[in-house]
Amino acid sequence: MLYFKGEEVWGGLFGFGSLRKSVEWTGKDFDRHEGTRISTEAGVATYRRVYHRDREGRELNKISGKLSYSPPGRPYPSRYRHQGHRMALRDLIQQAHQKYGQAPSAVLAADQPTGEKPMELFITDEHTEYYMALQTGGDSDRGMLTGALGGVLGVGFAGLSIFLALNGKWEGVPIGFILAFFSFIVPFLWESRRPLPLPILFNRRNREVYFDHNGLLYHSPWDGIQAVACEFQIVGPYTAGMNNASLEILVRRLGEPDNALMVSLGAPMGKTLAMQKGFWEYIRAYMNNGPWFDKDGNHSTSDEFVTSQLAAHTKPTGFLAYTRQTIAEKKAAAGGKNYLSGIDAALFVGHLFFYPMDWIQEFTYNVAKRRSRNRWHQIVSERLQSDGPTTRLIDLERERGLDV
């Protein structure tokens, strides 16, 4: 089942005067991209939506939101009854093939290799000795407003106050610092106090998975867990076909095993089936052979490979250091002569200018993340500690007599 939730932006100029419409689509809202003059890749199902001017003459400017894929016959995320408390994911994929075509897909298991090398896809928020946290999206840009106001306006007002002080114009100095203070503190308090979505937690110590959905705790034991990966293609009104691949796992609500969700491990946009298999190998290597492992997923006493994978996702504050390193390498290679190009100089100045904004954004995001971690149920937070309980949540359910 295809599922999209987002908004359409119609008309306007550079975002001003535009009409925004909230939309929510399922598979029935897409048309199969086919015809006698249309060539499609074998084994790939392509879908489209066709747009025209509206009654006021506005054209569609863009579509933004989250696109997901899950087997048909259920909403996304899905809740459904199960037989024998086990879900036949292969049957669900077969149903999806019957409705959407033979799109490439695979059922992945915790104890079976996929044939791909471990690969991190820039969604790991924390990788520790005892647990790994995956971002669930939704607020990855948290702190941007604080960074823009505090890092640009705030720094500008503070710099202006210093300039006035150096020129002996003390009457304007307090006003400048007050404006700088409020340019930072107001958006910071607003953004840092709003809770972030809790991540998906893979507890290596207890070998289980946790997920919070609107304050309700869902979980799954790692041993025996399955994931389903599906590749599909979407054609936009102004773009050619773009490959997408989803990776989902099944989790059940604590105390209510009949209440289940299919949870997506990251957004599917721009990914392939091989990439999702590689990410599943990354998770498998962590849970089965971790916390540190090598490029083949085997246990290692060194964190070199894991660190290299996580370092590939450069944060905005790292752009300045990366540019400096690039310039230093070019200087060494050229013997200190004619090594600085115009592009390198422009990048260095640009990253230096935006560094305060990027630093404040990351600081605000980290504060909001630390505050949000306190929202985990105690039964989960105590199991994330090195000396916490080792019993799995499914064991507690069995002690209560639940058939799980």
| Domains of the chain, residue spans | 2-142+196-313+374-399, 144-193+318-369
252 vs 261: CA distance, rounded Å: 6
Residue 338's region, left for phi above 0, alpha for psi from -120 to 50, else beta, is left
- pTM (predicted TM-score): 0.70
**What confidence score (pLDDT) does residue 209 get?**
96
- Percent of the chain at pLDDT > 70 equals 84
161 vs 169: CA distance, rounded Å: 9
Lowest mean pLDDT among 171-175, 239-243, 281-285, 334-338: 239-243
**What confidence score (pLDDT) does residue 94 get?**
63
300 vs 51: CA distance, rounded Å: 53
| 338: pLDDT strictly greater than 70 | yes
130 vs 137: CA distance, rounded Å: 22
Better-predicted residue by pLDDT, 17 or 307: 307
Better-predicted residue by pLDDT, 60 or 218: 218
Which of 64-78, 109-123, 164-178, 329-343 ranks highest by mean pLDDT?
A: 109-123
| 101: pLDDT strictly greater than 70 | no
Lowest mean pLDDT among 136-145, 164-173, 377-386, 392-401: 136-145
Residue 199 DSSP one-character state = P
- Kindly give the interhelix angle for 318-333 and 342-373, rounded to the nearest 10 degrees: 150
Mean pLDDT for the chain overall: 82
Average pLDDT over residues 19-25: 82
402 vs 219: CA distance, rounded Å: 15
| 343: pLDDT strictly greater than 80 | yes
**What confidence score (pLDDT) does residue 335 get?**
81
Average pLDDT over residues 337-356: 86
Better-predicted residue by pLDDT, 35 or 358: 358
**What confidence score (pLDDT) does residue 89 get?**
59
**What confidence score (pLDDT) does residue 382 get?**
92
Lowest mean pLDDT among 64-78, 186-200, 332-346, 389-403: 64-78
**What confidence score (pLDDT) does residue 240 get?**
67
Which of 148-157, 199-208, 376-385 ranks highest by mean pLDDT?
A: 199-208
| 140: pLDDT strictly greater than 80 | no
